[in-house]
Amino acid sequence: MLERLPPQPPDALLAVMAAFAADQSPDKVDLGVGVYKDERGATPVMAAVKAAEARLIAAQHSKAYVGPAGNRTFAAFLEQLVLGADHPALVEGRVATLQTPGGCGALRLIADLIVRTGAADEILIGAPTWANHHPLLTSAGLKAQPMPYYDITLGQLKFQEMLSTLEAQREGTVVLLQASCHNPTGADLDPAQWSEVAAVLERRRLIPLIDMAYQGLGNGLDEDAASVRLLASRLPEVLISVSCSKSFGLYRERVGAVVLVARSAAEASVGFAHLQMLARRSYSMAPDHGAAIVATLGSDPALVDAWRTELDAMRTRVNGLRHLLAEALAAEYGDRRYDHIATQRGMFSILGALTPDVVTRLARDEHVYTAPDGRINLAGLPEARVGYVAAAIRRVVP
Ligand code: LMR
């Protein structure tokens, strides 16, 4: 049977990770994979997360199944974090949350749910987007339609084109949006632009699927959730995928959730039952450990405070690096072509419309590893290496 399969090229980002690991140069800098790193290049376990984990291990007496819906304390904490405790949808009981294996698990289950409703077979996806969005969502059977989002060459949003595309959609079309810290561009809509998008979605009766993977790493926990809260207050149905990978540093534990905002409590509960069935058919039971850590953390206000403080420091560091790199690039080029790096948010920016050859030369000749699309992870840039990286970019990127 297996002889029938054609060779499968490696995932492009995983290939960058492997190439970086194999590079013996002391100069090497990893701006590829999207994980937070400290000044030493390490991705440490956050102290508040470690403390919650220690408590969990001490208190846990069973590894029996938690069920397809996952940890309910985790779900309650997460939906308050995302929507804010007093959000009308929560107060009215129109929200249902299911724990998933990471944000990717949430995206896949949402895509399965959309297909299951029979109401939509297409999804509008901004361009550019995270490399795994298309495979994840189309594997469930949705057809992806492009929506202009960002001009890589100019380093700015294509907001009017995005609005016109939304205006032209038929009722019920699902639209993938990113809550904040846009991957791969770092270019987010401002509050006024989010209001305009909400108005079009409302008028055209479109359904947002919001991918929220970086809460707290852009402008703050509440600020980064403002888009989600706005859409959930303006629209009757909102599908939200949440990842705890970056905000809690729990990458390998695979912690995420689907947060469903429905028209009514009854519809939320039916949607939730379908999600449980889809999870059961796919991987059966939710993994426990990572979500139980978040639940333990979320149950102790002191740990929540400690976690917020650590997250604030991570965000401040990344935003500081944005300014340092923009300044260093301005000095190298003698112009301000990369100024948008300073004002964009989250871990990523794109260096421009780089050819594959330029991306290869940056890695091979300068030992600066970016994602294949020229995306850089600012968190992977030690402050001490900003000058080196700016000069390397200047040598290779015209
Ligand atoms: C990234 O964007 O680099 C991360 O989300 C890792 C991944 O799986 O692509």
Instruction: Note whether 342 and 323 are within 8 A (CB).
Output: yes
Which among 16, 33, 255 is the best mutation to test ligand 1's pocket, defined by most ligand atoms within 8 Å of the CB?
33
Say yes or no to pLDDT of 353 above 90: no
Mean pLDDT of the chain: 97
The pLDDT assigned to 81 comes to: 98
Return the bridge partners of 240, or none.
210, 259
What distance in Å separates the CA atoms of residue 256 and residue 223, rounded to the nearest whole number? 20
Q: List own/partner pairs for 134-138 with CB under 8 A and 24 or more apart.
A: 136/104, 136/107, 136/108, 136/111, 137/107, 137/108, 137/111, 137/176
Does any ligand 1 atom lie closer than 6 A to the CB of residue 43? no
Q: How far is the CA of 207 from the centre of ligand 1 (A)?
A: 25
Examine residue 44 and say whether the peptide bond preceding it is cis (omega within 30 degrees of 0).
no
Does any ligand 1 atom lie closer than 6 A to the CB of residue 17? no
pLDDT bin (cut points 50, 70, 90) of residue 11 is confident
What is the pLDDT averaged over residues 97-105?
98
Q: How far is the CA of 245 from the centre of ligand 1 (A)?
A: 10
The tokens for 261 are 């905002």
Query: What pLDDT, in 10s, does the model give residues 363-394?
Result: 999 999 999 999 999 999 999 999 999 999 99
Q: How far is the CA of 363 from the centre of ligand 1 (A)?
A: 18
Say yes or no to pLDDT of 398 above 90: no
Q: Pairing between strand 95-100 and 256-261?
A: antiparallel
DSSP state of 35: -
Q: How far is the CA of 62 from the centre of ligand 1 (A)?
A: 32
Give the active site residues.
130, 211, 213, 246
- Shortest-distance atom of ligand 1 to CA 131: 9
Per DSSP, the residues of 232-268 read HHH-S-EEEEEE-TTTS--GGG--EEEEEE-SSHHHH
Does any ligand 1 atom lie closer than 6 A to the CB of residue 183? yes
The pLDDT assigned to 368 comes to: 97
Does any ligand 1 atom lie closer than 6 A to the CB of residue 33? yes
- Shortest-distance atom of ligand 1 to CA 33: 3
Does any ligand 1 atom lie closer than 6 A to the CB of residue 13? yes
Q: How far is the CA of 113 from the centre of ligand 1 (A)?
A: 23
Q: Where are the alpha helices (DSSP H) in the chain?
A: 12-22, 47-59, 72-83, 88-91, 102-117, 133-139, 159-167, 191-204, 221-234, 265-282, 289-298, 301-333, 340-343, 356-366, 386-396
Which among 129, 132, 183, 250 is the best mutation to test ligand 1's pocket, defined by most ligand atoms within 8 Å of the CB?
132
Q: What percent of the chain has pLDDT over 70?
A: 100
Per DSSP, the residues of 336-353 read -TTTHHHH--SSEEE--S
What is the pLDDT averaged over residues 345-356?
94
The pLDDT assigned to 10 comes to: 86
**For residue 45, which amino acid is it?**
V
Q: How far is the CA of 34 from the centre of ligand 1 (A)?
A: 5
pTM, two decimals, is: 0.96
Collapsing DSSP to helix, strand or coil, 375 comes out as strand
The pLDDT assigned to 63 comes to: 96
Whose tokens are 């002889």? That residue is 3
- Shortest-distance atom of ligand 1 to CA 104: 8
- Kindly give, in sequence order, each residue whose CB lies less than 8 Å from that of residue 64, ignoring residues fewer than 6 positions away: none
Show the domains of the chain with their CATH numbers.
11-46+304-396 (3.90.1150.10), 65-299 (3.40.640.10)
Instruction: Note whether 109 and 137 are within 8 A (CB).
Output: no
Going by C-alpha positions, the residue among 271, 279, 211, 188 that lies closest to residue 236 is 271
The pLDDT assigned to 222 comes to: 98
Q: Measuring from atom 3 of ligand 1, which residue has the nearest CA?
A: 34
Query: What pLDDT, in 10s, does the model give residues 296-335?
Result: 999 999 999 999 999 999 999 999 999 999 999 999 999 9
- Shortest-distance atom of ligand 1 to CA 132: 9
Instruction: Note whether 235 and 202 are within 8 A (CB).
Output: yes
- Kindly give, in sequence order, each residue whose CB lies less than 8 Å from that of residue 153, ignoring residues fewer than 6 positions away: 352, 353
Query: What pLDDT, in 10s, does the model give residues 140-182?
Result: 999 999 999 999 999 999 999 999 999 999 999 999 999 999 9
The pLDDT assigned to 58 comes to: 98
Say yes or no to pLDDT of 271 above 90: yes
Does any ligand 1 atom lie closer than 6 A to the CB of residue 104? no
The pLDDT assigned to 245 comes to: 98
